[in-house]
Chain A
Amino acid sequence: MAVLYRIHDDTSDLASFLELCRVHWRGVVVASADEADNTCRIDCGTERLRDICQWLTDDLGFAFATLVAEQAPKNWLLIYAFYKDAKSPLVRVELKLDAALSVAPSVVDLLHGPSFDWHEREVEDLFGLHFEGHPRLGEFVLHEDWLEGINPMRRDFDANKRFEPRTTEPKWEPPTIVTAPGAFAMPIGPVFSDFAESAHFLLETVGEDVVRTIPRFFYKYRGVEKIAEGQPPDRALLLAERFSGTAAFAHGLAFCQAIEAICGIKPPPRALALRAVLAELERLRSHAAAITGICNSTALAVATSQAALIEERLLRLTCEITGHRYLFGAVVPGGVICNPSQTDCRHLTAAVGEITHELRRLLQMLRYSSSFLDRLEEVGVVTEDQALSYGLVGPIARASGVARDIRKVLPYAVYGSTDFSVPVEREGDGYARLRVLFAEAAQSAGIINKVLSSLPDGAICSDELQLRAGAALSAVEAPLGAAFHWVRLDNGGNVSRYRVTPPSFTNWHGFHLAAENFAFQDFPIILASFGLSNAECDR
Chain B
Amino acid sequence: MANWVLKGLRTGIRTTSYPAGPDDAPGISPGRPIGTSLSSTTAVDQLVRNCPTQAIAPDGSGIAIDQRRCIHCFRCQRGVDEPPIWQQGFEWAAYVDDQAPRKLAAIFGRSLHIRFVDAGACGACMSEARQINNPYYNMHRLGFFITPTPRNADVLLVAGPVSDAMRLPLSKTYEALPTPKRVVAIGACAASGGVFGPSFAASAGIADVIPVDVVVPGCPPPPLAILHGLLLVVERKPPSNVFSRASGGSKESP
Given the known interface contacts A245-B125, A306-B11, the answer about A162 and B135 at a Cβ–Cβ threshold of 8 Å is no
Q: Which residues of A contact B78 (CB under 8 A)?
A: 329, 337
Q: Which residues of A contact B146 (CB under 8 A)?
A: 194-195
Against B, the Cβ 8 Å flags (1 = close, 0 = not) of A140-179 are: 0001001000001000011111110110011000000000
Q: Which of A190-221 touch B at CB < 8 Å?
A: 190-198, 218-221
A270 contacts partner chain B, Cβ-Cβ < 8 Å: no
Q: Which residues of A contact B26 (CB under 8 A)?
A: 316, 319-320
- A504 (CB) vs chain B CBs: closest residue: B123
The CA-CA distance from A317 to B27 in the complex, in Å, is 6
Residue in A160, A245, A325, A536 whose beta carbon sits within 8 Å of that of B200 in the complex: A160
The CA-CA distance from A227 to B128 in the complex, in Å, is 26
Could you tell me if B52 and A309 are in contact, using CB atoms closer than 8 angstroms? no
Could you tell me if A191 and B161 are in contact, using CB atoms closer than 8 angstroms? no
9-residue interface stretch from B68-76, B97-105, B227-235: B68-76
A389 contacts partner chain B, Cβ-Cβ < 8 Å: no
Interface residues on A, range: 35 or more
Instruction: Kindly provide the distance from the CB of A381 to the nearest chain B CB, expressed in whole angstroms.
Output: 27
Could you tell me if B27 and A309 are in contact, using CB atoms closer than 8 angstroms? no
Instruction: Kindly provide the distance from the CB of A149 to the nearest chain B CB, expressed in whole angstroms.
Output: 15
Q: Which residues of A contact B52 (CB under 8 A)?
A: 234-235, 238
Could you tell me if A320 and B163 are in contact, using CB atoms closer than 8 angstroms? no
B201 contacts partner chain A, Cβ-Cβ < 8 Å: yes
B92 contacts partner chain A, Cβ-Cβ < 8 Å: no
The CA-CA distance from A41 to B136 in the complex, in Å, is 53
A302 contacts partner chain B, Cβ-Cβ < 8 Å: yes
Q: Which of A282-334 touch B at CB < 8 Å?
A: 289, 300, 302-303, 305-306, 308-309, 311-312, 315-320, 323-326, 328-329
Could you tell me if B200 and A226 are in contact, using CB atoms closer than 8 angstroms? yes
Residue in A194, A239, A328 whose beta carbon sits within 8 Å of that of B148 in the complex: A194
A14 contacts partner chain B, Cβ-Cβ < 8 Å: no
Q: Which residues of B contact A195 (CB under 8 A)?
A: 116, 126, 129-130, 133, 146
Instruction: Kindly provide the distance from the CB of A372 to the nearest chain B CB, expressed in whole angstroms.
Output: 10
B28 contacts partner chain A, Cβ-Cβ < 8 Å: yes
Interface residues on B, range: 35 or more
Could you tell me if A220 and B160 are in contact, using CB atoms closer than 8 angstroms? yes
- What is the total of A-B residue contacts with beta carbons within 8 Å? 210
9-residue interface stretch from B34-42, B55-63, B164-172, B242-250: B164-172
Could you tell me if A143 and B165 are in contact, using CB atoms closer than 8 angstroms? yes
Could you tell me if A221 and B73 are in contact, using CB atoms closer than 8 angstroms? no
- B172 (CB) vs chain A CBs: closest residue: A191
The CA-CA distance from A316 to B120 in the complex, in Å, is 25
Residue in B7, B198, B200 whose beta carbon sits within 8 Å of that of A365 in the complex: B7
The CA-CA distance from A330 to B199 in the complex, in Å, is 26
Given the known interface contacts A152-B201, A163-B164, the answer about A535 and B121 at a Cβ–Cβ threshold of 8 Å is yes
Could you tell me if A319 and B27 are in contact, using CB atoms closer than 8 angstroms? yes
Could you tell me if B74 and A323 are in contact, using CB atoms closer than 8 angstroms? yes
Could you tell me if B25 and A239 are in contact, using CB atoms closer than 8 angstroms? no
**SS of B interface (majority):** loop
Instruction: Kindly provide the distance from the CB of B210 to the nearest chain A CB, expressed in whole angstroms.
Output: 13
Against A, the Cβ 8 Å flags (1 = close, 0 = not) of B142-161 are: 00001010100000000011
- A152 (CB) vs chain B CBs: closest residue: B200
A242 contacts partner chain B, Cβ-Cβ < 8 Å: yes
Could you tell me if B8 and A302 are in contact, using CB atoms closer than 8 angstroms? yes
Could you tell me if B166 and A220 are in contact, using CB atoms closer than 8 angstroms? yes
Against A, the Cβ 8 Å flags (1 = close, 0 = not) of B191-221 are: 0001111111111000000000000000110
Residue in A170, A198, A306, A329 whose beta carbon sits within 8 Å of that of B118 in the complex: A198
B83 contacts partner chain A, Cβ-Cβ < 8 Å: no
B131 contacts partner chain A, Cβ-Cβ < 8 Å: yes
Could you tell me if B200 and A162 are in contact, using CB atoms closer than 8 angstroms? yes
Q: Which residues of B contact A161 (CB under 8 A)?
A: 200
The CB with the most chain A CB atoms within 10 A, among B52, B78, B131, B165, is that of: B165
The CA-CA distance from A300 to B1 in the complex, in Å, is 10
Instruction: Kindly provide the distance from the CB of A503 to the nearest chain B CB, expressed in whole angstroms.
Output: 13
B47 contacts partner chain A, Cβ-Cβ < 8 Å: no
Q: Which residues of A contact B3 (CB under 8 A)?
A: 365, 368
Residue in B124, B164, B194, B196 whose beta carbon sits within 8 Å of that of A246 in the complex: B124
Given the known interface contacts A318-B27, A325-B222, the answer about A190 and B166 at a Cβ–Cβ threshold of 8 Å is yes
Could you tell me if A311 and B134 are in contact, using CB atoms closer than 8 angstroms? yes
The CB with the most chain A CB atoms within 10 A, among B29, B134, B164, is that of: B164
Assuming A197-B123, A302-B5, A319-B29, what are 5 further A-B pairs, CB within 8 angstroms?
Answer: A170-B165, A245-B123, A305-B11, A365-B3, A365-B4
Interface residues of B (CB under 8 A from A): 1, 3-5, 7-8, 11, 14, 25-31, 52, 71-75, 78, 115-131, 133-136, 146, 148, 150, 160-161, 163-170, 173, 194-203, 219-220, 222
A and B contact pairs by CB, cutoff 8 A, 7 listed: A159-B200, A160-B198, A162-B200, A198-B117, A198-B166, A222-B120, A306-B7
Interface residues of A (CB under 8 A from B): 143, 146, 152, 157-163, 165-166, 169-170, 190-198, 218-224, 226-227, 234-235, 238-239, 242-248, 289, 300, 302-303, 305-306, 308-309, 311-312, 315-320, 323-326, 328-329, 337, 365, 368-369, 533-536, 538
